[in-house]
Amino acid sequence: MEKELKIAVIGQGYVGLPLALAFAQHFPVVGFDIKQSRVAELQRGIDLTKEVDESQLNVSILTYNNSGGVKGYKPSTSISDIADANVYIITVPTPINQFNAPDLTPLKSSSKLVGTVLKQGDIVIYESTVYPGCTEEECIPVLEKTSKLVFNRDFYAGYSPERINPGDKVNTLETIVKVTSGSTPEVADYIDDLYRTIIKAGTHKAPSLKIAEAAKVIENAQRDVNISFVNELALIFDRLGIDTQDVLEAAGTKFNFLKYKPGLVGGHCISVDPYYLAHKAIQVGYYPDVILSGRRVNDEIPVFIASKVVKLMIQKGIDVSRSRVLLLGFAFKENCPDTRNTKVAKIYEELVSYGIEVDVYDPWVNLEEVREEYGIEVMTTEDELKEHRFLRTDHRYGVMPSPYNAVLLMTAHKEFNDLDVRSFINEPGIVYDAKAILNRSIVDSRL
């Protein structure tokens, strides 16, 4: 079977690329993506997401080329390269729109694309996070309409939700238990066996696609609700004038206390997936108060941080409208270039709305991606940081020396551990620590 099987992984981002390379150790795999620049990078052996070992990427590409496509990995934007596959795995994004409703455009587009090459006996597996029932209600009809084939007679489907944790080199694809499911008992067994070839931690075969979908979406909804609780505590304790971290440290001495920390909730999963579950709940007549209230609390935090810093500046007599602020970190999590749905962008916007000049430094992110997605210029090297450190450009005053009036640590990148944050400050200035990792003696306030 290994010689006959050919896999096409649709989407070569944080989820699709590690998956494709894992399967490429056993089967011929084509990693398909519509973004030409991304595929061009992969063809050169470059992964800007930093999720895979680039030496492994290069070896997999060479293996494919030297074996004549018997095994290995081929990145491609050509539909003809996936036309002879018999297992299609879809790993495209599932974002929300401006109304916090599911945006299924990438999912439906990729389903339509696969439908154009779908053949008798093929299997389509979805890994994108969706609400329970989405695969069968939204995706399968697209496959049937495009391919003119009949579901569960001519082709089959599965759902195996991704559990990628960007930037985590310990809990990787192979070391996390994989939930699998199939549209028939036989297909479920086949898909489960397929994933067992790459998942060292083992698999869990769910009874149905809908159950597998539900399992995935509640994983992130649970974390969102738990984080919203400690974020709400942070809002309360700030008004009481006590340190949230001190309270959590004291409470954490109890054996069954769950040790969550307050923070910015961004990224592609935790801040998005609860809306998918809420959407489906409302469709079936139930309003999910807990889930949506958690979302509201977590979405308050960027505004809270920005306003807190402004208040602290005013208390120290700083002219806010002529002030400079440095944000350390733009990625949504530490030691990772992922800026998807980062809440640092909201803090940036809030500070700018006060007339503050804001600089951002993050050595991990891709400058072009941040510029394209958010319209924000980010310093990515220490040289840039040093250059801007004491230099201000103001349309009223021209170029003039001016250190920062406030430094906000947003992301706990390892590069920031030894940074002399206070040296960037024009005293009296503000240091705000959103991650609670800096020495408390130099911090004015923290989340």
Residue pLDDT, tens place only, 344-389: 999 999 999 999 999 999 999 999 999 999 999 999 998 888 877 6
- Residue with the two structure tokens 């054996």: 255
Inform me whether the pLDDT recorded for 323 exceeds 90.
yes
Inform me whether the pLDDT recorded for 1 exceeds 80.
no
Inform me whether the pLDDT recorded for 239 exceeds 70.
yes
Give the closest residue to 38 by CA, choosing from 66, 60, 16: 16
Spatial distance between the Cα atoms of 305 and 436, rounded to a whole number of angstroms: 13
Q: How confident is the model at residue 295 (pLDDT cuts 50, 70, 90)?
A: very high
Spatial distance between the Cα atoms of 116 and 143, rounded to a whole number of angstroms: 8
Read off the pLDDT of each residue in 383-405 and give the average, rounded to a whole number: 65
pLDDT given at position 167 = 87
Spatial distance between the Cα atoms of 277 and 294, rounded to a whole number of angstroms: 13
Which token pair is 67? 């074996």
Inform me whether the pLDDT recorded for 397 exceeds 90.
no
Q: How confident is the model at residue 392 (pLDDT cuts 50, 70, 90)?
A: low
Mean pLDDT of the chain: 94
Residue pLDDT, tens place only, 51-86: 999 999 999 999 999 999 999 999 999 999 999 999
134, 139, 269, 336: the catalytic one is 269
Q: How confident is the model at residue 402 (pLDDT cuts 50, 70, 90)?
A: low
Domain ranges of the chain: 7-207, 244-446
Do the domains 7-207 and 244-446 sit in the same CATH topology, yes or no?
yes
Q: What CATH number should be reported for the domain whose range is 7-207?
A: 3.40.50.720
Alpha-carbon dihedral angle through residues 407, 413, 419, 424, given to the nearest 10 degrees:
-20
Inform me whether the pLDDT recorded for 399 exceeds 80.
no
pLDDT given at position 390 = 58
Which token pair is 353? 């709305």
pLDDT above 90: percentage of residues in the chain: 89
Higher pLDDT, 154 or 382: 154
Inform me whether the pLDDT recorded for 301 exceeds 60.
yes
> What amino acid occupies position 345?
A
CATH for 244-446 (3.40.50.970, 3.40.50.11540, 3.40.50.720, 1.10.3470.10): 3.40.50.720
pLDDT given at position 387 = 79
Spatial distance between the Cα atoms of 224 and 270, rounded to a whole number of angstroms: 6
Q: How confident is the model at residue 426 (pLDDT cuts 50, 70, 90)?
A: confident
Which token pair is 255? 């054996």
**What beta strand segments (E) does 16-155 contain?**
28-32, 72-76, 87-90, 123-126
- SS3 assignment for 277-346: HHHHHHHCCCCCHHHHHHHHHHHHHHHHHHHHHHHHHHHCCCCHHHCEEEEECCCCCCCCCCCCCCCHHH
pLDDT given at position 230 = 97
pLDDT above 70: percentage of residues in the chain: 96
- The pTM (predicted TM-score) of the whole model is 0.93
Burial class of residue 196, CB neighbours in 10 A (0-12, 13-18, 19+): middle
pLDDT given at position 389 = 66
Which residues fall within 8 angstroms of residue 373, CB to CB, at 6 or more apart?
Answer: 339
Is 134 annotated as catalytic? Answer: no
Burial class of residue 406, CB neighbours in 10 A (0-12, 13-18, 19+): buried
Inform me whether the pLDDT recorded for 235 exceeds 80.
yes
Read off the pLDDT of each residue in 233-237 and give the average, rounded to a whole number: 97
Spatial distance between the Cα atoms of 293 and 58, rounded to a whole number of angstroms: 46
Inform me whether the pLDDT recorded for 268 exceeds 90.
no
